[in-house]
Amino acid sequence: MTDLVSDPKTISPTRTGATVEFRGLRRTFGATTALDGLDLTVEPGELVALLGPSGCGKTTALRTLAGFERPDSGEVLVDGEDITGVPAHRRDAGMVFQSYSLFPHLTALDNIAFGLRMSGIRKAERRARAAELLELVGLSQHAGRYPHQLSGGQQQRIALARALALQPRVLLLDEPLSALDAQVRLTLREEIRRLQQKLGITTLFVTHDQEEALSMADRVAVMRAGRLEQCAPPAELYERPATAFVAEFVGVMSRIPARTGADDGTVHVLGRRLPVNGRLLGTEAVGGTGEVDVLVRPEAVEVTADKNGTSRIMGAAFLGATSRLTVRLANGAEVSADVPTHAMTTLPVGAAVTLTLPERPVLVDRRRASDGGGS
């Protein structure tokens, strides 16, 4: 696959990125609430990924910004200007869809130039601009090809170039990579990010793919039931989730039954007393003694072969340099743990093991009713 041109001489940013604000957006469809008071600000030149389960409202938020949906209440602002009532064709936003939506009867060059033609740009100027964008996305040699003569990745590049042709203030990407195979998706997401950073265009990216969101975005906005759960840089979202929903939705997280200490900010888990990271997710604080769950990532769980261990390996999945074990505790809870693949010779399925956690603060949440007994 041809890379995007890393430093094209003919294309440069013509303006700085715009500030985008959602203020108290609410949108319902019959009895279904798609947006429930959404508040979010996207800074100039920033790429924010909207991430969440199906039906959480992320696509509705994007379509509301594009002008394809009208909110029941709330405001959409771009650079401080309220555009809530502005028609879609006057919003100065470029949009790339999952389905590409290229015109089958137009060549790659003419697809890119279509919006320029509709805007009354002279033929010579629009064709020159389209040619520059073809160079930018690395497809100059395919200018005369029709969509059916291009691969899926190439079609999506053309769709991206078409969205950029009118130099919009905001770029909107609605799951643009989900129809592509894994290798093309990996390459194209890196190239989209590189291009977005070069042009400095404010971008909202809707995806259900956590890896895409975490690898591409400056910040990830996790949505649930029409509301914003947390918006933060990827590392903060992964390491310091604000809610139990974010903790379990982003990445893999296991729940280990535990018991809190006597108002000392610690928790007893897997035979060790560990400090809590400062709060009980979803509540105000950890206090008193009681049954809770400790939330842990697979890479934080240490597994040791132990013939007298009370835990047992129930399954293993090869992930390359690491393998992911499913370990069942004596109380029935199951925990995911990542170990070096070379260590699997001493950790076969069915082996008795002991699990431990490193001595650092842990995330704690209310005990779920379905969890097993204490630690």
253, 260, 288 from 365: Cα distances, Å = 12, 11, 14
Q: Strand order of the sheet with strand 219-224?
A: 93-96, 170-174, 202-207, 47-51, 219-224, 227-232
Q: Strand order of the sheet with strand 81-82?
A: 32-42, 20-29, 73-78, 81-82
Residue 144: burial class (beta carbons within 10 Å; 0-12, 13-18, 19+): exposed
> pLDDT digits over 240-256, tens only?
898 889 999 998 999 99
How does strand 47-51 pair with strand 202-207?
parallel
Residue 242 and residue 232: Cα distance in Å, rounded?
Answer: 10
> pLDDT digits over 283-304, tens only?
444 555 588 999 999 999 999 9
Residue 328: burial class (beta carbons within 10 Å; 0-12, 13-18, 19+): middle
Instruction: For residue 319, report the phi and psi dihedrals to the nearest 5 degrees.
Output: -120, 15
Confidence (pLDDT) at 294: 93
Nearest to 49 by CA among 230, 191, 184, 186: 230
Tokens of 43: 């800074």
21, 22, 86, 203, 369 from 75: Cα distances, Å = 8, 6, 11, 18, 40
Average pLDDT, the chain: 87
**226 in Cβ contact with 33 (< 8 Å):** yes
Boundaries of every domain in the chain: 20-239, 252-366
11, 163, 195 from 7: Cα distances, Å = 9, 19, 9
Nearest to 2 by CA among 133, 134, 138: 138
**221 in Cβ contact with 51 (< 8 Å):** yes
Residue 58 and residue 61: Cα distance in Å, rounded?
Answer: 5
pLDDT for 3 beyond 50 = no
* 33-42 average pLDDT score: 96
Q: Is the pTM of this model over 0.75?
A: yes
What CATH number does the domain located at 20-239 have?
3.40.50.300
Confidence (pLDDT) at 289: 56
* 22-38 average pLDDT score: 96
What CATH number does the domain located at 252-366 have?
2.40.50.140
In the chain, the percentage of residues whose pLDDT exceeds 70 is 90
10, 201, 292, 321 from 14: Cα distances, Å = 12, 10, 54, 45
The neighbouring-strand residues paired with 280 are 364
Give the pLDDT band (50/70/90) at residue 8: very low
**260 in Cβ contact with 90 (< 8 Å):** no
> pLDDT digits over 129-188, tens only?
888 888 888 888 999 999 999 988 889 889 888 888 888 899 999 988 887 788 888 888
CB-hemisphere CA count at 13 Å for 124?
Answer: 0
Fold match between domain 20-239 and domain 252-366: no
> pLDDT digits over 81-127, tens only?
999 999 998 898 998 887 778 899 999 999 999 888 887 888 888 88
Nearest to 338 by CA among 295, 296, 299: 299
